[in-house]
């Protein structure tokens, strides 16, 4: 086999490795996003405010159903009772139902507003986590590409950058577990910083 053929095969092999690595990175990022969505859904279902909102909504529906039943009963009783007395009872019942509905509606509105505000904050936090995850994936890809170029060509244009310590979260404290073991079971979801040694430290 000629040197040219060997070079072509090596290029094809490197291209295949890059493609597989990119696919693996995408898969890990997708898995991290799925886990994050599942965590948010579990937090929502465990939220007392959300459960209370559902309970109050059900109570309001029961009150509305009771009002409809009351109106039907009053219509059926009108032919047996004096119209004036029936109207008095109906008015009293209507006022009671309306007062209860108003109270329940106001309470439900308060709960809904609290729940929507909590959801807004959760969505903001989730968007920020996703942004940080995407930025970290981009930095890892870029760093990997530069490292491959350095290994393949020996050109040290990126050497200072590759020798620097890479931080996953510049504004966060170091993850104690990652610092001790070099890995973290939370992965991209971890709120701590994962400092990765630079090239010189790895080779040293």
Distance from first CA to last CA of the chain, Å, rounded?
Answer: 37
Number of domain units in the chain: 1
The CB-side HSE value for 153 (13 A sphere, CA atoms) comes to: 11
Give Cα separations from 130 to 102, 174, 200 (angstroms).
41, 20, 31
Between 165 and 204, residue with greater pLDDT: 165
Alpha-carbon torsion (198, 136, 167, 189), positive or negative: negative
pLDDT digits (tens, 9 = 90+) for 161-185: 666 666 667 677 778 777 777 777 7
The residue segments making up the domain with residue 104 are 23-163
Backbone angles phi, psi at 78, to 5 degrees: -60, -35
Please indicate, yes or no, if residue 14 is contained in any of the structural domains: no
The answer to whether 50 and 44 have CB atoms below 8 angstroms apart is: yes
Q: Which residue has the tokens 């109207």?
A: 87
- CA nearest to 133, candidates 191, 173, 179: 191
The CB-side HSE value for 18 (13 A sphere, CA atoms) comes to: 15
Please indicate, yes or no, if residue 67 is contained in any of the structural domains: yes
Please indicate, yes or no, if residue 3 is contained in any of the structural domains: no
- CA nearest to 129, candidates 25, 196, 37: 37
Please indicate, yes or no, if residue 96 is contained in any of the structural domains: yes
Please indicate, yes or no, if residue 37 is contained in any of the structural domains: yes
Please indicate, yes or no, if residue 1 is contained in any of the structural domains: no
Backbone angles phi, psi at 203, to 5 degrees: -75, -25
Please indicate, yes or no, if residue 154 is contained in any of the structural domains: yes
pLDDT digits (tens, 9 = 90+) for 30-66: 898 988 888 887 877 777 887 788 788 888 888 888 8
Share of the chain above pLDDT 90, in %: 15
Please indicate, yes or no, if residue 181 is contained in any of the structural domains: no
What pLDDT is attached to residue 71?
Answer: 84
């Amino acid at each position: 086999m000629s040197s040219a053929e060997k070079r072509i095969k090596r290029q094809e092999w490197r291209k295949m490795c890059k493609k597989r690595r990119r696919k693996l990175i995408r898969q890990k990022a997708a898995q991290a996003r799925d886990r994050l969505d599942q965590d948010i859904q579990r937090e929502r279902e465990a939220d007392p405010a959300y459960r209370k909102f559902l309970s109050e909504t059900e109570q309001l529906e029961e009150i509305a159903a009771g009002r409809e039943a009351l109106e039907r009963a009053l219509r059926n009783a009108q032919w047996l009772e004096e119209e004036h007395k029936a109207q008095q009872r109906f008015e009293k019942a209507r006022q009671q139902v309306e007062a209860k509905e108003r109270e329940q509606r106001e309470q439900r509105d308060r709960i809904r507003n609290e729940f929507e505000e909590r959801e807004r904050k959760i969505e903001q936090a989730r968007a920020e986590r996703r942004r940080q995850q995407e930025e970290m994936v981009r930095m890892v890809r870029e760093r990997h590409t530069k490292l491959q170029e350095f290994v393949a060509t020996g050109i040290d244009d990126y050497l200072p950058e590759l020798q620097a310590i890479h931080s996953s979260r510049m504004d966060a404290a170091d993850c104690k577990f990652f610092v001790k073991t070099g890995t973290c079971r939370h992965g991209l979801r971890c709120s701590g910083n994962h400092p990765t040694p630079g090239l010189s430290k790895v080779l040293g």
